[in-house]
């Protein structure tokens, strides 16, 4: 395990080059450029505000619904976009895989790092909305690095697993977007976790993305710390999942060149 990580570190320049390449390709010859990073969650925010806040009367736990929905949409959009790009990252680079050796995990991790730029750009608007709605800034924002790190670790774990499986079973790249779409409804993007029935709350919070989004809303909108027990449990789950996914990826990567 440590040998693999040291090898990955030696190829860090390649990893960052792939991430930069993905960013350039995504925004090459686009009219809005990096503004597209804000456009998608902003468009969903407007739709959710009209449909769920006005028509459906969905609760936002006292926060302005546009800010409530946007703070959920930014991490969810990052998760959905990065996972969608990572799942096919190894198979899409078959020419490089066949020619030379380097750690193959640079492809899914590079795809995630490329989307991280979009996440940071989209997050700037949260600060603007906080100023607009006069939401105070508190010391609870110190929890954000843990929450964002948890999401990135969760993304890397799943991406390593599905990108490797996609080499063997090409329908994985179709299954993953479907699961992501369904996951929107079992993650508190549209509604708050307070609407989850109490007897299901502990099970519901086993979803690391539910912990991340609920935690972000608590620290940003309500100046409260995230629920510590679900945060610790999710961190343990993601750590275990990440270790298993990485070991599985390294075990099967020797077969990639023969199967692609």
For 6-15, the pLDDT digits (tens) are 887 787 888 8
Q: Which pTM value belongs to this model?
A: 0.92
Number of helices and strands in the chain (H, E):
13, 0
Which pLDDT score is estimated for 100? 77
Cα separations (Å) of 91 from 47, 64, 164?
Answer: 35, 43, 9
Q: What pLDDT tens digit does each residue of the chain (260 aa) get?
A: 777 778 877 878 888 888 888 777 777 766 666 677 788 888 888 898 888 877 777 888 888 999 999 999 999 999 999 999 999 988 888 777 777 777 889 999 999 998 998 899 899 999 999 999 999 999 999 999 999 999 999 999 999 999 999 988 888 989 999 999 999 999 999 999 999 999 999 999 999 999 999 999 999 999 999 999 999 999 999 999 999 999 999 898 888 767 65
Which pLDDT score is estimated for 201? 93
Using CA atoms, how far apart are residues 239 and 149, in angstroms rounded to an integer? Answer: 11
DSSP 8-state secondary structure symbol assigned to residue 142:
G
Other Cβ atoms closer than 10 A to 99: 8
């Amino acid at each position: 395990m440590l040998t693999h990580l040291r090898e990955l570190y030696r190829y860090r320049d390649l990893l960052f080059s792939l991430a930069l390449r993905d960013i350039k390709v995504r925004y090459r010859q686009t009219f809005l450029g990096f503004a597209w990073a804000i456009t998608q969650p902003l468009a969903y925010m407007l739709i959710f505000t009209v449909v769920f806040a006005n028509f459906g009367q969905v609760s936002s736990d006292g926060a302005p619904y546009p800010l409530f929905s946007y703070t959920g949409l930014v991490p969810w959009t990052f998760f959905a976009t990065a996972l969608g790009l990572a799942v096919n990252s190894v198979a899409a680079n078959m020419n490089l895989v066949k020619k030379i050796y380097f750690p193959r995990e640079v492809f899914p991790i590079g795809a995630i790092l490329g989307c991280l730029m979009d996440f940071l750009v989209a997050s700037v608007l949260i600060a603007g909305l906080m100023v607009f709605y006069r939401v105070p800034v508190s010391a609870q924002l110190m929890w954000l690095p843990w929450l964002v790190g948890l999401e990135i670790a969760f993304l890397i774990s799943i991406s390593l697993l599905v990108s490797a499986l996609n080499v063997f079973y090409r329908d994985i790249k179709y299954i993953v977007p479907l699961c992501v779409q369904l996951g929107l409804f079992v993650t508190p993007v549209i509604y708050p976790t307070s609407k989850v029935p109490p007897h299901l709350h502990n099970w519901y919070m086993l979803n690391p993305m539910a912990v991340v989004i609920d935690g972000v809303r608590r620290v940003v909108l309500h100046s409260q710390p995230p629920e510590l027990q679900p945060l610790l449990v999710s961190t343990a789950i993601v750590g275990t999942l990440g270790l298993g996914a990485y070991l599985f990826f390294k075990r099967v990567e020797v077969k990639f060149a023969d199967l692609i």
